[in-house]
Amino acid sequence: MKNKILKITQLGQPVLRQPSKPVPLPLSRVHDRLIDDMIRAMKKAKGVGIAAPQVGIGLQLFIVAPEPSVRYPKAPTMPPVAMINPRLVKHSTKIVTDWEGCLSIPGLRARVPRYHSLEIEFTDRKGRRLVGKLSGFVARIFQHEFDHIHGNVYLDRVRDTRTFMTEAEFRKRRS
């Protein structure tokens, strides 16, 4: 089957506001291909993560793949990791507020509070149940994508709406 570039779902589409269903395990070929297609869509859009609802599919699946870019120049580099049926096991009390944007809400940025560090559990694409600890920017990506599979977007977490700005204005202020 030919690889396809999936279209990014935009805010307003109902799938972005609905809780996702668990991915049936073991992973089917269809779901394995979906992971590859999601990674391609994320890279084409220059994102650092993407969740299945962002490509119109209500499943508990997302990709975490930070790398430096125009949007996130200080991001660490990490190969794409598919996180299937993830769980947030524990989080720090420390909260850090920083800038976020979203592929499903293009052209907008705001400051979002997130836990600094996390303990997580997820199934990888080989079917292994893994546990891990994340901190900083990678923990922020996990929480952003985790929100997507629960029907939430970063706008829901913004505490001060005066921090909203366009992507163009954000870039001007960052350079």
The domain limits of the chain are: 14-174
Chain centroid to CA 171: 21
Q: Return the CA Rg of the chain.
A: 15
Segments of the chain scoring below 70 in pLDDT: 1-3, 175
Rounded to whole angstroms, the Cα distance separating 131 from 118 reads 11
pLDDT of 175 reads 63
pLDDT of 105 reads 97
pLDDT of 5 reads 80
Backbone angles phi, psi at 45, to 5 degrees: -85, 0
pLDDT of 70 reads 76
Residues annotated as catalytic are: 145
Rounded to whole angstroms, the Cα distance separating 92 from 106 reads 30
- What CATH number does the domain located at 14-174 have? 3.90.45.10
pLDDT of 72 reads 81
pLDDT of 7 reads 95
pLDDT of 1 reads 47
Strand partners, 165: 109
